[in-house]
Chains A and B, each alone.
Chain A
Amino acid sequence: MASKATGRWLVLAVPYLWLLALFLVPFLIVFKISLSQDAIAQPPYLPTFDLSGGWALFRENFAELSFENYGYVLSWDNEFIEAYGSSLWIAGISTILLLLVGYPIAYGMARAPKSIRPTLLMLVILPFWTSFLIRVYAWIGILSPEGLLNQLLFALGIVNRDAPLQILNTDTAVYIGIVYSYLPFMILPLYAALEKMDETLLEAAADLGCPPFAAFWKITWPLSLPGVFAGCLLCFIPAVGEFVIPDLLGGSDTLMIGKVLWTEFSVNRSWTVSSAVAVLLLMVLVIPIVFYQNLQAREMERR
């Protein structure tokens, strides 16, 4: 009996402790470093808590912590606030585009004959298995001024060879990149919600003389809302912190917080400021993240 309880306890404890040590504790460290000051030392911040120094030293170190970095990040003189704003804006627009592109595809898939649905589903998931970096990279070759899209437009005579479309290194390229990379994340929850829907509801509406579009708006759309929320959150939250897409496809004036954090960390080498940027980004995202978690947990329990 005792061994049974121990076994039960171990199953719980191993992943729990792992996540505590490597997911939760790191956040506390980030928070602590965001209150520290940069220093030329190893590690490059002060104070470092030395517990061997006893209580007095601990208190002394504690007193050195300050919110100075937050003041720096939140000051209008620096580009951080602008970067947060433009990240939220770009992620928001991308999420709306994703919904507009993904919904008709998921809807079509859910209405396809049952026999081909697994194949369609697999075709949506397959590109997701290929590297994110590769998929973003593929668009550089398409969107660049001498790229394949412009070549096609030259050949069709739509665009003059002397004035190719400038899409690469603009915000438009970032939107295309995000929509392309995140599309499966939008389609899958939408499809899951639409596939469960009872077709007879629509038949009843049609029998009672409801036109198809009104039936869609009054029946299908409300019933698919859980999928819409899940898809939008699944795309919006990571898109706000996106780094690779704005870096490779965006221009020098594309300001996104993930890229700013990376630059602050790897170029300016300020660990304390990048920690403060990360903490603030997390605070911006905490509401959608909690919302998403509740949605996920409820979905699992309902089944």
Chain B
Amino acid sequence: MRKGLSWFNVSSIALGFAFLYIPIILLVIYSFNASRMVTVWAGFSTHWYWQLFQNQQLLDAAWVTLRVAFLTATVATVLGTLAAITLTRYGRFTGRTLFSGMVYAPLVMPEVITGLSLLLLFVAIGLDRGFWTITLAHITFTLCFVSVVVQSRLVTFDRSLEEAALDLGCPPFKTFFVVTLPIILPAVISGWMLAFTLSLDDLVIASFTTGPGATTLPMRIYSQVRLGVTPEINAACTILIAIVTVVVIFVSIMTKRQEIERQKAERMAAAEG
């Protein structure tokens, strides 16, 4: 077999990416449509964006969603990183199987089950449903995603660095912040982002665990989508897509630069030694 791409490889990649991107691109294009009819192009207009910024309900929902997502991502990153350390560094301990089961199961658990079970818990303990219950629910299912991302970094890095620090008398707590954390930081950051976007995105679990007064953006969009496609929703979606795209590209450039610098520093250290 020759190395390199055959026409079959190239066309399957091209078709695959076309399939992945065309629907999103069409959605963005039609958010600039002057006509209320979504499928008829009537010229360029930013009318729907102005309309959007006057929709107080939508803005309120966006604000709730951002607060939930920010809190969720922050707490889930801490808990998920702790869980990842436990699973990669503690070896065998009693209850490990149960623990790893609880970390991996939510990754594939149908959302309706997670949502229903959390709702029933909140009702059983008499917690008022709203902002905080959504946040608790989101932390629970996103921390597992963070843990998997951080774990994959923890298992590939050179443990002798940690051991060296410990041998030299550095306390474990300090070793973590001085040695381990800087190395796994890119994974921790992408874990945070993953948790943030998962929370931003979630409709089903939020719908189960919410109460009066806390409506998230996906819930608001969903209730409008059920009534049909409107250019206003296209505009809202376009803004969300733009934010996510900018953040993802920015972070991936940052982590790549950091990686290159780290490699350079390592090479220099090796040359000096």
B218 touching A133 by the CB < 8 A rule?
yes
B200-235 interface bits toward A, Cβ cutoff 8 Å, 1 = contact, 0 = none: 110110001000000000100110011001000110
User: Contacting chain B: which of A54-62, A63-71, A75-83, A123-131?
Assistant: A123-131
B147: min CB distance to chain A, Å: 8
A233-266 interface bits toward B, Cβ cutoff 8 Å, 1 = contact, 0 = none: 1100110111110001000000000100110010
A141 touching B26 by the CB < 8 A rule?
yes
Q: Which residue numbers of A lie inside 8 Å of B, CB to CB? A: 4, 7-8, 11-12, 14-16, 18-20, 22-27, 29-30, 33, 43, 101-102, 104-105, 107-109, 111-113, 120, 122-127, 129-135, 137-142, 144, 146-148, 151, 180, 183, 187, 199, 202-203, 205-206, 212, 215, 233-234, 237-238, 240-244, 248, 258, 261-262, 265, 271, 274-275, 278, 281-282, 285, 288-289, 292-293, 296-297, 300, 303
A282 to B109 alpha-carbon distance, docked (Å): 9
A265 to B19 alpha-carbon distance, docked (Å): 35
**Given A244-B204, A278-B116, are A138 and B27 neighbors across the interface (CB < 8 Å)?**
yes
B140 touching A18 by the CB < 8 A rule?
yes
Chain B residues, CB < 8 A from A19: 83, 99, 102-103, 140, 143
| Among A7, A203, A240, A293: residue with most chain B CB under 10 A | A293
**Given A22-B121, A293-B104, A300-B152, are A146 and B241 neighbors across the interface (CB < 8 Å)?**
no
A24 to B20 alpha-carbon distance, docked (Å): 36
**Given A15-B82, A104-B8, A147-B39, are A135 and B24 neighbors across the interface (CB < 8 Å)?**
yes
Chain A residues, CB < 8 A from B245: 126, 129-130
Say which size band chain B's interface belongs to.
35 or more
B139-164 interface bits toward A, Cβ cutoff 8 Å, 1 = contact, 0 = none: 11001000110011001100000000
B240 touching A25 by the CB < 8 A rule?
no
**Given A19-B99, A151-B39, are A138 and B23 neighbors across the interface (CB < 8 Å)?**
yes
Contact of A120 among B13, B121, B123, B156 (CB under 8 A): B13
A297 touching B100 by the CB < 8 A rule?
yes
Residue B273 is within 8 A (CB to CB) of chain A in the complex: no
A130 touching B152 by the CB < 8 A rule?
no
Q: Can you list 15 residue pairs at the A/B interface with Cβ under 8 Å?
A: A8-B172, A23-B106, A29-B124, A30-B120, A102-B16, A104-B9, A108-B8, A137-B27, A141-B38, A141-B234, A142-B26, A144-B39, A233-B108, A248-B226, A281-B110
Q: Which residue numbers of B lie inside 8 Å of A, CB to CB? A: 1, 3-5, 8-10, 12-13, 16-17, 19-21, 23-24, 26-27, 30, 38-39, 79-80, 82-83, 85-88, 90, 93, 95, 98-113, 116-118, 120-121, 123-124, 136-137, 139-140, 143, 147-148, 151-152, 155-156, 171-173, 197, 200-201, 203-204, 208, 218, 221-222, 225-226, 229, 233-234, 237, 240-241, 244-245, 248, 252
A4 touching B172 by the CB < 8 A rule?
yes
A303 to B156 alpha-carbon distance, docked (Å): 7
The 8 closest A-B pairs by CB, nearest first: A241-B110, A26-B117, A104-B12, A108-B9, A105-B16, A15-B83, A138-B23, A202-B1
A202 to B116 alpha-carbon distance, docked (Å): 50
Chain B residues, CB < 8 A from A134: 24, 27, 221, 237, 240-241
B116 touching A30 by the CB < 8 A rule?
yes
Chain A residues, CB < 8 A from B148: 296
Q: Which residue of A lies closest to B218 (CB)?
A: A133
Cross-chain pair count, CB within 8 angstroms: 254
A237 to B113 alpha-carbon distance, docked (Å): 12
A29 touching B120 by the CB < 8 A rule?
yes
| Among A4, A133, A243: residue with most chain B CB under 10 A | A133
B23 touching A142 by the CB < 8 A rule?
yes
Chain A residues, CB < 8 A from B140: 18-19, 22-23
Q: Which residue of B lies closest to A199 (CB)?
A: B3
Contact of B30 among A33, A141, A234 (CB under 8 A): A141
A290: min CB distance to chain B, Å: 8
Chain B residues, CB < 8 A from A125: 248
A148 to B234 alpha-carbon distance, docked (Å): 14
A285 to B234 alpha-carbon distance, docked (Å): 36
A129 touching B244 by the CB < 8 A rule?
yes
Q: Which residue of B lies closest to A128 (CB)?
A: B197
A260: min CB distance to chain B, Å: 9
B229 touching A101 by the CB < 8 A rule?
no
A138 touching B26 by the CB < 8 A rule?
yes
**Given A137-B27, A137-B237, are A126 and B13 neighbors across the interface (CB < 8 Å)?**
no
A137 touching B229 by the CB < 8 A rule?
yes
A192: min CB distance to chain B, Å: 10
Q: Which residue of B lies closest to A151 (CB)?
A: B39
A108 touching B136 by the CB < 8 A rule?
no
A27 to B155 alpha-carbon distance, docked (Å): 31
A35: min CB distance to chain B, Å: 13
B20 touching A15 by the CB < 8 A rule?
no
B121: min CB distance to chain A, Å: 4
Chain B residues, CB < 8 A from A234: 107-108
Chain A residues, CB < 8 A from B111: 238, 241, 243, 258
